[in-house]
Structure 1
Amino acid sequence: MHPFVFLQLGQDIVQTALSLFSEKGYEATSVDEIARKSGMVKASFYKYFKSKEELMLSTIALVQEDMERELEKLYLNSELSPREKLIQFYVICLERVYQNKMHLLFFSVTLVKSTDKEISQARDKLEITISNRCMDLMIKLYGGEWSDYYYDIIFVIKSMIVGYVRLADPEFFASESQMLAKFFMSITDILVQGMNNPDSHHEIMWKPSMQDNAEPVKPWNRWLEVTSIIQSMHSAIDTLDLHEAVKDDYYSILEKLQAEMSGAVTETAHVKALLFFLGQVTELQDLCEKLRITLKP
């Protein structure tokens, strides 16, 4: 096989996997499904990747290379002001998250399995790289006096980007990216101004110690684990052989559980009651137990 054809087929598998991981979650997607959607038999898949884990590492590497290439061009563009550079940074993030389904890298990989350690480290490195580049642009625009709060602001903006991409209509997305980036710029201005308010005191949620070679902060890891487990529970409910109305009830309970855990205190009686109810379903028992362990302080 010609090297170019081999490379192209490998990239096609990566794109197919990205789509499936985004839709179903990493754990719930099998090699059989990836191969079938890619138009090949399972044995052919292993000509390109040794395992699903190696495939995920390839997707992260592909996204990392793409992001770094785009950000390098942005940094070298001397015609843009610091404000314009930050807006274009948001455009790049919006478009790359949408194009590559990058949010699956942050929400679909469970961190607690030792077999996923290499994946989680690669994913964390990508997330930290993006955050640090954004941090650098913010310092150039707003100064370094309030830099301790910038990671909190980055977390808010990043969550908004991911949230929008999950709900975006693909027919309108391309035309909206510039407008959305300017909107996120306005939100950033408001947040920075709020941090500068001498009458307000703000607790720092995300410590400014996220360097390229540092371990990611624990609250971020915990949040990723919870989000991944919730997604796996949703996928498990999808597969249940139940009437749609009953499934809708389980989805509703899962939404209530997620909403309850968004508060400052997650180990509430309400959370325990919801987990107990969901845990009565055999297919959800292990996931409920995993969530209980994750939520312990």
Structure 2
Amino acid sequence: MKETIIRSALQLFSREGYTSTSMQSIAEECGISKASLYKYFDSKEELLIQVFEQSLTRMFQQAQEITVNDSLSNRERFVQKIILELEVNQEQRAFVNLIVRAMPIHQNQKVRDLMSRTKTALMNWHKRSLLEAYGEDIRPYVWDLVVVFQGTIREYIVLMMDDYKVLDKNKIAELLVSHCDSIVAGFNKEHTVLSTSLMNEYETFTLFDKQRTEEEIFMDIIDRISQKAETLSAGKKNEVQNAIEQLLYHLKSEDGQHLLIEAICLYIDARVSIKEEIERITQLLKNRHCKEGYST
């Protein structure tokens, strides 16, 4: 139910605005009483913050799927993570602006804490991504590389989201990785500014750093498909929902039939586009197959 409340709140905040959305309207959207809603969230402010944190957590979880994708090289994984970050920022930029407008940072300690946690989480995630891409040799100066990387990607995000420049995310990702390649190749360790001890508070930060189980990932995908099905007419919606139930059943099954899963996905895709979800399912099934082969 908590997930349902967060999804409904996000839709209402985006559609009606934070100020115009009441806890009563959120409860009605979820089909529960206002009293039941308050069992999950103490206030509308807390709900707004958790909506944002969940969207950030989802990005990190999707990045973890990229990390375990054995079909990609370390460099390709890094490129894909940058593209993911650009896409999420494009989706969430308006929502971040909504938070700042609704609860100005200088007036609200909870928002200041949220932004501080977000900054720390992103820096820690970027550090891990760079280490995964370039190995332990860069650890002595990894934080300097993080700052250079973040400063560059932030400017592209501002150009895309605030200045409405139409930019190719794939080209941006390739360019950023090429710049990182050059820095790593020519870096003089004597020029290191940010030591591990100096960045200790970031080194020990673990918020949002939870690895999901395969079932949790599949449930996330199913949830996304179900949301897309909401846009269909009543008849087609029922057809797709029945197919989704069958898809979930076979995905959870340890001996899930890949051809049958593929057929169900194609059936749904013919009614509502789920190409991105199909790609994620295909990769997860490949990973499952590899693990099964290794275990035998």
CA RMSD of aligned residues (A): 3.9
Is 1:201 the counterpart of 2:177? The answer is: no
TM-aligned CA deviation for residue 43 of structure 1: 6.5
Give the CA deviation at 1:150.
Answer: 1.7
Aligned residue-pair number: 189
Q: How does 1:175-194 map to 2 (within 5 A)?
A: 176-194=168-186
Q: Summarize the Cα distance change of 1:68–1:212 in structure 2 as closer, same or farther, 3 Å threshold.
A: farther
What is the match of residue 148 of structure 2?
A: 156
Q: How far off its partner does 1:123 sit?
A: 3.7
Structure 2 distance, partners of 1:51, 1:86, is 38
Question: Residue 130 of structure 2 aligns to which amino acid in structure 1?
Answer: M
Match of 2:109 among 112, 116, 125: 116
Identify the residue that residue 270 of structure 1 maps to in structure 2. Answer: none
User: Please, which of 61, 73, 83 is the counterpart of residue 65 of structure 2?
Assistant: 73
The CA distance in 1 between the partners of 2:130 and 2:120, in whole Å, is: 15
Q: What 5-or-longer segments of structure 2 have no aligned partner?
A: 28-33, 208-296
Higher relative CO (CA 8 A, sep ≥ 6), structure 1 or 2? 1
Secondary structure at the aligned position of 2:64 is classed as: helix
Q: Which residue of 1 aligns with 2:53?
A: 61
Q: Are the counterparts in 2 of residues 96 and 102 from structure 1 also a CA contact under 8 Å?
A: no
1:187, 1:170 → 2: CA distance?
24
Residues 129 and 212, structure 1, Cα contact 8 Å, conserved in 2: no
Tell me which amino acid in the other structure corresponds to 2:109. D
Structure 1: gaps (5+ residues): 18-32, 216-297
Q: Which residue of 1 aligns with 2:291?
A: none
Contact 1:86 1:138 in 2 (8 A): yes
How does the TM-score come out when normalised to structure 2?
Answer: 0.51
* Deviation for aligned residue 1:96: 0.8
How far, CA to CA, are the matches of 2:49 and 2:166 in structure 1? 31
Give distance in 2, aligned partners of 1:112 and 1:56. 17
Report the alpha carbon displacement of residue 99 of structure 1 after superposing the two structures with TM: 1.0
The separation in 2 between residues aligned to 1:135 and 1:87, in whole angstroms, is: 14
Matches within 5 A, 1:28-177: 34-36=18-20, 44=25, 51=43, 53-101=45-93, 104=96, 108=100, 115-117=108-110, 119-168=111-160, 172-173=166-167, 176-177=168-169
Tell me what 2:251 maps to: none
Quote how far apart the aligned CAs of 1:95 are. Answer: 0.8
Structure 1 residues 56 and 129 mapped into 2: Cα distance closer, same or farther (>3 Å)? same
Residue 188 of structure 1: CA displacement?
Answer: 1.3
Contact 1:35 1:41 (C-alpha < 8 Å) held by counterparts: yes
Deviations 1:203-250 (A, max 9, x none): 2288342135489xxxxxxxxxxxxxxxxxxxxxxxxxxxxxxxxxxx
Structure 1 residues 5 and 139, CA gap change in structure 2 (3 angstroms):
closer
Q: Percent identity?
A: 19
Equivalent pair of 1:63/1:102 in contact (CA under 8 Å)? no
Name the amino acid aligned to 1:172.
V
Q: Report the Cα offset of residue 144 of structure 1.
A: 2.0
Does the 8 Å CA contact 2:140/2:195 hold for their aligned counterparts? no
Shift of 1:189: 1.7
Q: Take 1:44 and 1:98, find their aligned partners in 2: how far apart are those partners?
A: 27
Q: CA deviation at 1:8?
A: 4.9
Query: Which residue identity lines up with residue 147 of structure 1 in the other structure?
Result: R
